[in-house]
Amino acid sequence: MRYALCVMRFFMTKNKIILTICLASLFGLFAGVVGALIAKVYIFNEIPYLEPINLSSDNYSRSNLIIRGAKKVIVSQDIKVEEIINSTYNSIVGIFKKNADNYYQLNNEIESGLIITSDGWIIAKALPENSKNEDFIIITRSNEIYNIDKIIKDKMTSFDFIHVQGVKDFSVKSFSDIQKIKNGQLVMTASWKNENYLTSIAGRLNNSKLVKSSDSFSDELVLTNNFNETKDLILFNLNGQIVGLRDKNNIIRPITHFQSAIQSLLKNQKIQRPILGVYYINLSDIISKDIQYKKGAVIRKNNLGISIIKNSPADSAGLREGDIITTINNTELNKNNNLTYIIQNYSAEDSVTIEYLRNNEKKKIEVKLGAY
């Protein structure tokens, strides 16, 4: 009996020793990990396990694009561009001259067209002046052939709006906001022939003189590459949004140039653009000792001596030369929002509230925009 008790005491003592050793080892390991973390954070200014994960190979020499979201992941630039190409692929169609044989070589298109509505509206560089619906056909990426039932010309931009029959599910991409088109922004070119190039926006060039019109655009996008060898040019940003289109004069027009025309087209089946009827200087673009205001649009004469078009909505509302328009429907006029862009974002015959300064006195009027 005494022998059995001795054996039990021996094993209990031995188990306590083993348990003590295990606990000591565990606490030692934990203390080491915590010490290493503290050293990294406070001595080396590093937070382990929270850095972005680089999915590109170590010997990959091209630049990488960092996509930041819920998780920080680095995706190689060519992978992102390939995603954009694939996502925009079905938004571009080819416009072909109709022939009697009804055979078409896919690289013999007249123009590339950009789908802008799911029910069959397409925008493309202007076709010949006397073109008829039956002269052309549309071919999609899936090689479906569609007849054209309408061609509506936009004289302001030298583009045509084309409608095809029997469509309800065309693939459509969204438009980029003009304020989000920035210098240095990466963009991708696209066309029917898959002439895809990665480039960037060098700036926005304003071809007009100091005095601008509230009723016509005067700016264009400039790229770091000319791409003169590319006949058609449609620009997308890396979110897959449409940024701009190149016209027959090689001017790259921001996509926002077409918004009011598209709104009118969908509403009235014709193109009507809004008219205010003033010429102005954007105060954000100039520095002058004579003018105390740094934002807004001051009404001034153009080179023909006209500041307000006779019988225009501005004339009927009583606006005068020297008035400084500050807001349209509570949207402030500034460097990013000039008078032309704000007015052209509305539809013809919309009513807007204009706030302005006359002899330093604040005034407000309601104006119904005209149409042309």
Q: In three state form, how does the secondary structure of the chain look?
A: CHHHHHHHHHHHHHHHHHHHHHHHHHHHHHHHHHHHHHHHHHCCCCCCCCCCEECCCCCCCCCEEEEECCCEEEEEHHHHHHHHHHHHHHHEEEEEECCCCCCCCCCCCCEEEEECCCCCEEEEECCCCCCCHHHEEEECCCCCEEEEEEEEEECCCCEEEEEECCCCCCCCCCECCHHHCCCCCEEEEECCCCCCCEEEEEEEEECCCCCEECCCCCEEEEECCCCCCCCCCEEEECCCCEEEEECCCCCEEEHHHHHHHHHHHHHHCCCCCEECCEEEEEHHHCCCCCCCCCCCEEECCCCCCCCECCCCHHHHHCCCCCCEEEEECCEECCCCCCHHHHHHCCCCCCEEEEEEEECCEEEEEEEECEEC
Give residue 101's pLDDT: 85
Contact predicate 205/219, CB 8 Å: yes
The listed CATH number (2.40.10.10, 2.30.30.90, 2.170.150.70, 2.60.120.380) that belongs to domain 86-164 = 2.40.10.10
User: Rounded to an integer, what distance in angstroms lies between the CA atom of residue 357 and that of residue 370?
Assistant: 23
| Amino acid letter, 142 | S
Mean pLDDT of each 10-residue bin along the chain, 372 residues long? 48 54 60 54 45 39 40 58 85 94 90 94 92 94 94 91 91 89 90 88 82 92 80 87 91 91 88 95 81 88 96 97 96 90 92 96 96 87
Residues in the chain: 372
129: exposed, middle or buried (Cβ count in 10 Å: 0-12, 13-18, 19+)? exposed
The fold for domain 274-371 equals Pdz3 Domain (2.30.42)
Give residue 60's pLDDT: 36
Every domain of the chain with CATH number 2.40.10.10 lies at: 86-164
Q: What are phi and psi of 37, to 5 degrees?
A: -60, -45
Give residue 17's pLDDT: 58
The conformational region for residue 330 under phi > 0 = left, psi -120 to 50 = alpha, else beta, is left
Q: Which CATH class is domain 178-267?
A: mainly beta
Give residue 369's pLDDT: 97
Give residue 72's pLDDT: 43
Nearest alpha-carbon partner for 186 in 176, 195, 194, 174? 176
Q: What are phi and psi of 46, to 5 degrees?
A: -120, 145
